Amino acid sequence: MSRVLLIKPRFLSPGIQVIAHPMGLMYIASVLKKSGHEMKIHDCAADDRHLDLLKRTIKEWQPDFIGLSIIITELEQTKVIMSMIREMMPDVPVTFGGPWPSANPEASIRTFGADFVVIGEGEPVFPELIEAIEKGLPVDSIPGTASMVNGHLKINSGHYLTESELNALPFPAWELLDHNLYAKKMSHAAVGRRKYMTIITSRGCPFKCAYCHQTMGKFFRKRTAESVLKEMETLRLKYGFREFEIVDDCFNLDRERTRAILTGIKDRIGDARLHFPNGLRADVLEPEDMVLFKQAGTVSAIFAIETSSQRLQKMIHKNLDIEKASRVINASVKAGIYTSGFFMVGFPTETYEEGSATVEFALSSSLHRAFFCIPTPFEGTELADMAREVIQRKHYTIDPLRMTYFNRDLNISAMSDRDLQKNFRRAYIRFYLNPKRILQIIIHHPNILSLPFYAVVTLLKILPKRPRWLGL
């Protein structure tokens, strides 16, 4: 059996680094361990810009295989890591996986130098790929892979787990992580530093939002409530975790399962503190559901609204029922949950009036907190296709190595650059300089000691010129 090193690159931002547990690698590691392989996970969040810890790990451990899980904002560091690997171990097979390689297998191989790409979900694919390489067998016919064959790129269709396969997976390899690392970093729930664990209770999303990579597939598959509860009980009793961040694409799509999980947490764990940072789908909830969320221990929840324009909702294929979403937001706040909203201003064809209406929706809501961003047309999404004509007409030069979720330089809307920036800055200024909102945040924030940090982050977002090293 082989030594397999799994690497998680990170976005190179020394100013503000928000991370989550590398769940994809943890599941891959668990499956490979079950097959008898020796595993190690290296999270580059523990490293410095020179990646000295990673260098030491590669030198001392001498892995037989290396895998990287990559999202688009991590390409700059991925390039550095690949250069290091090729210098230190030029013959070790390197496999890319994750959202960006799945959407861009050709660039992964031709531009970044990966030997193989796992497309889709890697648990059933990576073990088969390693076994074939170990035995000297051809790999080009393995479903869910891309590779070079006689100088030609061979791309096979992505592999996605069935619901029964998903429920048969072993729990993630928690033991391979340094849990103190994640306790010392800011998490996506934005409630300060503390010991917590990330959980995924389902995969995939049936909605076709134009801006989304759909990282876990385009069809919803759910773990049983019992499987989720056993995982949480293990984490609570064996590892001492009390705080959990549930990061499904759409945790609450199946209302009956949602209520079964929440009821089980309330009855079987009792003292859990839950966070939902990935954006709950508000219009498939009922206001009374938020009472059960609170009873199960929910501390914070984020609702992905994006735009208040029904025209734009239809155009981006989200089709959110805004009125119902507003009622659920009110119910969440009333239940005592620290409630946030995601908003985007600047979609293709969006007018100044439509952008202003979205800002007004956020301002008039009962939300404790709002995140506003300007849409980034990441390659591999429908939004990139929708924005292509605007990008060409405006002669934008897009460097994929520097694409982030915090773009403020690309304007793909029908607004002038001045009007777009006016809407964006006005949103933050008016939302957070409201005395009533400030008092509401202070009273209800789950971790008041972290408020100065988030205040600085918010201030930096509205500055006309931002320090590039902060990554905002």
Per-residue pLDDT of 416-427, as tens digits, reads: 999 999 999 999
CA-closest candidate to residue 294, choices 275, 311, 268:
275
Residue with tokens 């991925």: 78
Tokens of 178: 């340094």
Assign 470 a pLDDT band (cuts: 50, 70, 90).
very low
The DSSP secondary-structure symbol of 320 reads -
Assign 462 a pLDDT band (cuts: 50, 70, 90).
confident
Please say whether the dihedral angle defined by the alpha carbons of residues 295, 190, 204 and 288, taken in this order, is positive or negative: positive
pLDDT at site 454: 83
Please say whether the dihedral angle defined by the alpha carbons of residues 100, 278, 399 and 411, taken in this order, is positive or negative: positive
Tokens of 426: 């006005």
Read off the pTM: 0.93
Pairwise CA distance, residues 170 & 26, whole Å: 10
pLDDT at site 50: 87
Mean pLDDT of 396-408: 74
Tokens of 226: 């019992």
pLDDT at site 472: 45
Assign 13 a pLDDT band (cuts: 50, 70, 90).
low
Query: Considering only 207-216, 248-257, 306-315, which range has the smallest mean pLDDT?
Result: 207-216
Assign 216 a pLDDT band (cuts: 50, 70, 90).
low
Cβ atoms within 10 Å of 400's Cβ, excluding its own: 15
Mean pLDDT of 286-290: 97
Helix ranges restricted to H, 62-115: 75-88, 99-103, 105-110
Q: Phi and psi of 274, rounded to 5°? A: -105, 145
Mean pLDDT of 369-376: 94
Specify the higher pLDDT residue, 309 or 11. 309
Mean pLDDT of 457-467: 69
Based on its alpha-carbon atoms, the radius of gyration of the chain, rounded to whole angstroms, reads 22
Pairwise CA distance, residues 63 & 174, whole Å: 20
pLDDT at site 471: 47
Pairwise CA distance, residues 333 & 351, whole Å: 31
Q: Phi and psi of 196, rounded to 5°? A: -155, 170
Q: Phi and psi of 405, rounded to 5°? A: -80, -5
Query: Collapsing DSSP states into helix, strand and coil, what is residue 417?
Result: helix
Per-residue pLDDT of 48-106, as tens digits, reads: 778 999 999 999 999 999 999 999 889 999 999 999 999 999 999 999 999 999 989 99
Query: What residue ranges in 10-77 does DSSP mark as E strands?
Result: 38-43, 65-69
Contact 105, 380 (CB under 8 A): no
Pairwise CA distance, residues 54 & 406, whole Å: 27
- Which residues does residue 96 pair with via DSSP β-bridges, in sequence order? 68, 117
Query: Collapsing DSSP states into helix, strand and coil, what is residue 343?
Result: strand
Residue with tokens 């959980």: 199
Per-residue pLDDT of 152-192, as tens digits, reads: 999 998 888 999 999 999 999 999 999 999 999 999 998 99
Tokens of 271: 């003292």
Pairwise CA distance, residues 341 & 215, whole Å: 21
pLDDT at site 237: 96
Could you tell me which residues come within 8 angstroms of residue 256 by beta carbon, excluding any fewer than 6 positions away?
none
Mean pLDDT of 222-237: 98
Query: Collapsing DSSP states into helix, strand and coil, what is residue 222?
Result: strand
Q: How large is the greatest C-alpha to C-alpha distance in the chain, in angstroms?
A: 67
Domains of the chain from N-terminus onward: 3-155 (3.40.50.280), 186-470 (3.80.30.20)
Per-residue exposure over 272-290, b if at least 16 CB sit within 10 Å of its own CB, e if not? bbbbbbbbbbbbbbeeebb
Average per-residue pLDDT in the chain?
92
Residue 214 clears pLDDT 70, i.e. is over it: no
Assign 215 a pLDDT band (cuts: 50, 70, 90).
low
Residue 128 clears pLDDT 90, i.e. is over it: yes
CA-closest candidate to residue 127, choices 221, 4, 9, 215:
4
pLDDT at site 469: 44
Q: Dihedral (C-alpha) 397, 402, 408, 413: value to the nearest 10 degrees?
A: 50
